[in-house]
Amino acid sequence: MSENVNIDSNHSTRPPPIALGINVEKPKFPLYAVYSKRLESFEAWPEYLPVDKIDLVDAGLVFTGVGDSVRCYFCGGGLRNWERGDVAMEEHAKWYPKCPHILLVKGQAYVEKLSRGEKPEEDGTFENVKFDTSAKRNLIDSIAAQSCKEIGYTDHMVQKAIDIYTNKYENNEFKAKDLCEILLELEENQEATDTDGKDHSQTAQVDSDTLNEEIEPLERLLEINQKLKENQMCKICLDSKADVIFLPCGHMVSCPQCAPALTKCPVCRKTVNGHIKAVFATRSIN
């Protein structure tokens, strides 16, 4: 008598984890999963070679010490004979499209674009980098700000205009024209309060109080925004965006460059059995 065995056809055709964007493999050379260790390997990298060693390290590559040969710490794939114009990450992805490091750092869409001969869009370090509020301290020395000061506006007024612009648009890509428009609007508001027949000293005090009421909430918003950005940063390098989800715990505390070096989650101390790259929505749905 034979036993009937029901086989789930869906289970038999279930795609492997890597096809779902889930990496469960371990690096072939775990020592070099640490970014700084890969960088150390390039101390003897010949300066005349056409590819920058930082780009090679970002691409997960380690210098072998022979000629211009490098090898991936994760998949073990080797590359050499670099030519001018070569992009380390792209070459790695072209020759080893299933490398977990490439899929973790850049994603499957990046690899697919390269396979079609398309130039993938650069998404930058700390992907989709937005305005860093800590840079505001130096904006008063920008050419646009200097232009406004040259036509008679005080540092205080120009800084006020910069604050209004950066708070409104969340970037520092202003021109002198943008600041002047804000300064003119501030002057018009001041003139409107000065011509209403009231005591000027009292008007000035009211205007100052109103301005402070406007600035203070914006400063609080900036502070909140900065804290949110800090919360999204990798807790290991404190430099890049944390967008790698640890499995099975689900915590997201690390960037793709740091994640492979961690065997336990820094939050819950559970063993990391896999990784998946998180994708954040960058536009609203209408």
Q: Quote the CA–CA distance of 254 and 236 in Å, as a whole number.
A: 6
Parallel, antiparallel, or unpaired for β 70-72 and 61-63?
antiparallel
**pLDDT tens sequence for the chain (286 residues):** 445 555 555 555 777 776 667 788 899 999 999 999 999 999 999 989 999 999 999 999 999 999 999 999 999 999 999 999 999 999 999 999 999 999 999 988 899 999 888 887 654 433 433 444 444 446 877 877 887 777 778 888 888 888 888 877 777 778 877 887 888 887 777 766 555 555 544 545 555 555 555 555 666 666 666 666 677 788 888 778 888 999 999 999 899 999 999 989 988 999 999 998 887 765 545 5
Give 241's DSSP letter.
Answer: B
3-state SS record for 13-74: CCCCHHHHCEECCCCCCHHHHCHHHHHHCCCCCCCCCCCCHHHHHHCCEEECCCCCCEEECC
pLDDT at 202: 52
pLDDT at 126: 38
pLDDT at 89: 95
Is residue 66 a contact partner of residue 86, using CB atoms and an 8 Å limit? no
pLDDT at 99: 93
Give 79's DSSP letter.
Answer: E
- For the beta sheet containing 22-23, the strands, ordered from the edge strand earlier in sequence to the opposite edge, are 22-23, 274-277, 244-247
Domains delineated in the chain: 9-115 (1.10.1170.10), 133-231 (no CATH)
Amino acid identity, residue 150?
E
Q: Quote the CA–CA distance of 117 and 106 in Å, as a whole number.
A: 16
Angle at Cα 274 formed by Cα 266 and Cα 242, nearest 5°?
50
Measure the CA dihedral 181/183/187/189, to 10°: 70
Residue among 68, 73, 41 at smallest CA distance from 54:
41
pLDDT at 1: 42
Q: Terminus-to-terminus CA distance in the chain, angstroms?
A: 62
CA atoms within 13 A on the CB side of 271: 3
> Got the DSSP string for 116-144?
TT--PPP-TTTTS----GGGGGGGGGSHH
